Amino acid sequence: MTQTTHTQTTPPGPAGRPRSPEFRFAADALRGLRQDLFQNAFAYRPLPLMSVDGPLARRLPRLMREYAAWAPHATVAAAGTLAVLVGLTDDEVGIRGLLSAMLALIPVLLTLVRPKGALWLSFAGTTATAIIGGAGGSWPWLPSSFISHLVVLTVVAIRTRPRTAAWTWLLTAAYGFFAQTGLGWGYDASDTGAMLFLSALILLIVTVWHIRREARQEMTAQQTVTEHERSRRTLLEERSTIARELHDVVAHHMSVVAIQAEAAPYRVENPPEELEKAFVTIRENAVAALTELRRVLGVVRAENYEAPDAPQPTLADLDALLGNVRQAGLTVDKAVTGAVRELPQGVELSAYRIVQEALSNTLRHAPGASARVEIGYVLGGLGLRIVNGPPPAPHLIKPSPGAGHGLTGMRERVSMLNGEMATGRAEDGGYEVTVFLPVPPATGIEGDA
């Protein structure tokens, strides 16, 4: 397979000579200017409503929150109204004052729907206002157009990116220089310097706001990704732990199958040859399955994992667990209902671990509270209910860094056995974990209660 790489370069100059760095810089700058302010300059881009999920907006009444979403639009309209009032009160009130007011208002309102087009209209309105305003006073921005152009620059900078804001300031400087040097006769003073200083200050503030907002968004996105990866890693670790614990259970069953298949032919006098071959095949498959199971365990085993010396715990070991918990300072009671019977080892192990993790969460998140463990043997499976009361001094409890990981492990165990699990606050303010693990009736061996 042949791989071809295409590299985009600046077109060469005359006679195939490469362009200079200065030329490429100027070409890139003009390309950026065309993309930012000329392409789709009058495209329809309505100003979206403001989010009302902030801490201040949530304190407002519901009706006021609905109106608060229109706050940016109202602010722009108020700024346009200010420019209108300045235009009407500038010199005498007449047709020229009315035209100046309208030429100042229209670009401001246009920023709500077509921000880039409003900038070009502001330049045109500034020129028209200066022409109809007559000689004398400041040039090229009369008071109404001065306020209007500042508002337009601010809104365009907020609604675009920092590079576009820089272009708007450079265009404003070029316009002021051209108007001052070429058309500024008959006027007492120039306000280009004041316009450039105020607009630079405003655009700098807006640029800093843009940078902080983008940094905050990137941080939020990174925190979201990190939290997702942490949850995923925790889930994989819990699944690996469950797989390691169930290895002994599965290995025991496979060993029993291999031993029984090897001993079965000796229990029958003169067994058929086909039966002996079948038992040999069963034993070989069981041994092969044990070998593959050890390989799987090697894949999921952690680097610092050590095989347990004792057998995996079952519900018969629950009393020892409750004794250890009581020594740690937790008052816990146990209640068993139904006919106690031996359950599959996977179910026994998962039930033991669920109770263990629930009590550990009680010690961690509700120190000083009492707990109760209820075990119900029913025909279709095993029911568990672990509930603890409210802590006596909740304000003294420090947050635990491992909160939530225990529930993940319990859910994985329940999901592995196709069971059901519910967690939540109890009526008295404590916490409750309810689990049902299905067990087919044929797999259980009933015993005495």
* pLDDT tens per residue across all 449 residues of the chain: 444 444 444 455 555 566 778 778 778 878 878 888 888 888 999 998 887 776 666 677 777 777 888 889 999 999 999 998 888 876 555 787 888 889 999 999 999 999 999 999 999 999 888 888 755 567 788 888 999 999 999 999 999 988 999 999 999 999 988 887 766 555 667 888 999 999 999 999 999 999 998 898 888 888 888 888 887 887 777 777 777 677 666 776 677 777 777 777 777 777 788 877 888 888 888 878 777 776 666 656 555 555 555 567 889 889 988 988 888 888 899 999 998 988 888 888 889 989 988 988 888 888 888 999 999 999 889 999 999 988 876 655 555 544 456 788 888 888 888 899 999 888 888 899 999 999 876 544 433 33
Q: Is 367 exposed, middle or buried (0-12, 13-18, 19+ CB in 10 A)?
A: middle
Q: How far is CA 441 from CA 342, 445, 446, in A?
A: 11, 8, 9
Element of type H or E holding 8: none
Give residue 335's Cα distance to chain centre.
42
Q: How far is CA 432 from CA 80, 374, 390, in A?
A: 59, 11, 11
The Cα 77–Cα 99 span in angstroms is 18
Query: What's the chain's Rg over C-alpha atoms?
Result: 39
Domain boundaries, the chain: 21-190, 236-300, 315-446
CATH of domain 315-446: 3.30.565.10
Q: Is the dihedral of CA 423, 424, 426, 429 positive or negative?
A: positive
The Cα 55–Cα 37 span in angstroms is 36
Q: Give the count of alpha carbons within 13 A of 95, CB side only.
A: 1
Per-residue pLDDT, 306: 55
Q: How far is CA 316 from CA 126, 155, 382, 419, in A?
A: 89, 72, 14, 21
Which one-letter amino acid corresponds to residue 406? G
- Asked whether 300 and 247 are in contact (CB, 8 A), the reply is no
